[in-house]
């Protein structure tokens, strides 16, 4: 089976590197499925999952936005934060979710509201991905 190299990189360092059969994720423009030989592409990503098909199994990585770059031989995901499903600290994500929900209810200014909304989306994304492993 043909494969393509994938790296998921954050400011703290690499999170994942492997040869996979397919990469799929949600870009701001919609769902993307990348197979070996895909045309070059750069796409901004949503808070969501990067799904990697490897040896017939699917591995999940939580990403907090960022960019996906496709080159003929390689896919790179540059994310502000990224965690493999098995590395997600569920208690921490639950605490972040509750904190964000409290802030959203407190109805402070718009900046705090937007920050809390994004924190809530990151936490929900982590909990969903940790639950699917
Ligand atoms: P928190 O409020 O718990 O820090 P956050 O969404 O604000 O959550 P981020 O700013 O997205 O956190 O990430 C900061 C760093 O902590 C990143 O390296 C990220 O991978 C890591 N991280 C955040 N939450 C978790 C988690 N639940 N499990 C594992 N790593 C996490």
Task: Look at ligand 1, atom 15, and give the residue with the nearest C-alpha.
Answer: 81
Q: Which residues pair with 22 in a beta bridge?
A: 53
CATH topology classification for 4-85: ATP Synthase; domain 1 (2.60.15)
The answer to whether the CB of 86 is under 6 A from ligand 1 is: no
Query: Which of 10, 92, 74, 23 lies closest to 52 in space, CA to CA?
Result: 23
Helix (H) or strand (E) holding 119: helix 110-131
At 62-108, the pLDDT tens digits run 999 999 999 988 999 999 999 999 999 999 999 999 999 998 988 76
User: Per-domain residue ranges for the chain?
Assistant: 4-85, 89-131
Mean pLDDT of the residues in the chain: 94
* Cα of 37 from ligand 1 centre, angstroms: 33
Confidence tier at 133 by pLDDT (50, 70, 90):
low
Q: Residue 34 Cα, ligand 1 centroid: separation in angstroms?
A: 27
Q: What is the fold, at CATH topology level, of the domain defined by 89-131?
A: 1.20.5
Q: What's the pTM? A: 0.94
- Residue 113's pLDDT band, with cuts at 50, 70 and 90, is confident
| Equal CATH topology for 4-85 and 89-131 | no
Instruction: Kindly report the protein residue whose alpha carbon is nearest to atom 1 of ligand 1.
Output: 96
CA 29 to chain centre: 15
Q: What percentage of the chain carries pLDDT values higher than 70?
A: 98
How many C-beta atoms surround the C-beta of residue 60 within 10 A? Answer: 18
Residue 7 has pLDDT above 70, yes or no: yes
Residue whose pair of structure tokens reads 């949503």 in the numeric block: 46
Q: How confident is the model at residue 109 (pLDDT cuts 50, 70, 90)?
A: confident
pLDDT of 111 reads 67
The preferred substitution site among 96, 103, 124, 131 for testing ligand 1, maximizing ligand atoms within 8 Å of CB, is 96
């Amino acid at each position: 089976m043909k494969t393509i190299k994938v790296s998921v990189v954050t400011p703290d360092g690499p999170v994942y590197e492997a040869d996979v059969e397919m990469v799929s994720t949600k870009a701001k423009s919609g769902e993307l499925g990348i197979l070996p030989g895909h045309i070059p592409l750069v796409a901004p990503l949503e808070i969501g999952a990067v799904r990697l098909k490897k040896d017939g199994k699917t591995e999940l990585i939580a990403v907090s936005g960022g960019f996906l770059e496709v080159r003929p031989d390689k896919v790179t995901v540059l994310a502000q934060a990224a965690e493999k499903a098995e590395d997600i600290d569920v208690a921490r994500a639950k605490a972040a979710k509750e904190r964000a929900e409290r802030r959203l209810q407190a109805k402070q200014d718009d900046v705090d509201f937007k920050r809390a909304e994004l924190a809530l989306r990151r936490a929900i994304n982590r909990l969903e991905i940790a639950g699917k492993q």
